[in-house]
Amino acid sequence: MLKSLSILFLLLCSAFTLAQDSLSNDPPETKWNAFKYDFANIFKGMGHSYTRPFHWQGKQWMQFGGFVAGTALVYTADYETSRFIRANRESVPTWLRDYGEFYGSPQYQMIAAAGVYSIGLFTENEKLRRTGVLLVSSTASTGLLQQVLKTVVGRARPESNLGKDTFDPFNSNRRFHSFPSGHAVTAFTAAYAVGKQFKSPWVKAGIYTAGAIPGISRLWDGQHWLSDFVVSIVISVATVESIDRFLDRKYDNKYNDEAERQAHLKDKKTSWDLNIGAGTIGLALRF
Would you list the domain boundaries of the chain?
2-255
Residue 217 has pLDDT above 50, yes or no: yes
Q: Give helix 94-103 / helix 182-195 axis angle, nearest 10°.
A: 80
Residues 6+ apart with CB under 8 A from 274: 66, 67, 69, 70, 282, 283
Cβ pair 229, 216 in contact under 8 A? yes
* Predicted structure pTM score: 0.79
Q: What is the pLDDT of residue 216?
A: 92
Residue 58 has pLDDT above 80, yes or no: yes
Cα–Cα distance, 190 to 220 (Å, whole number): 21
Least confident of 100-104, 108-112, 193-197, 242-246: 100-104
Per residue, the 3-state secondary structure of the chain, as one string, reads: CHHHHHHHHHHHHHHHHHHHHCCCCCCHHHHHHHHHHHHHHHHHHHHHHHHHHHHCCHHHHHHHHHHHHHHHHHHHCHHHHHHHHHHCHHHCCHHHHHHHHHHCCHHHHHHHHHHHHHHHHHCCCHHHHHHHHHHHHHHHHHHHHHHHHHHHHCECCHHHCCCCCCECCCCCCHHHCCCCCHHHHHHHHHHHHHHCCCCCHHHHHHHHHHHHHHHHHHHHCCCCCHHHHHHHHHHHHHHHHHHHHHHHCCCCCCCCCHHHHHHHHHHCCCEEEEEEECCEEEEEEEC
Residues 207-210: contacts with CB within 8 Å, 24+ apart? Answer: 210/103
How many C-beta atoms surround the C-beta of residue 224 within 10 A?
31
Q: Tally the C-alpha atoms within 13 A of residue 218's C-alpha that lie toward its C-beta.
A: 30
Q: Name the CATH code of domain 2-255 (choices 1.10.260, 1.20.81, 1.10.510, 1.20.144).
A: 1.20.144
Residue 258 has pLDDT above 50, yes or no: no
pLDDT tens figures, 15-41: 444 444 433 334 445 888 889 999 999
Q: What is the mean pLDDT of residues 104-131?
A: 86
Cα–Cα distance, 155 to 167 (Å, whole number): 4
Residue 242 has pLDDT above 50, yes or no: yes
Who has greater pLDDT, 69 or 104? 69
Name the pLDDT band for 280 (thresholds 50, 70, 90).
very low
Q: What is the pLDDT of residue 213?
A: 92
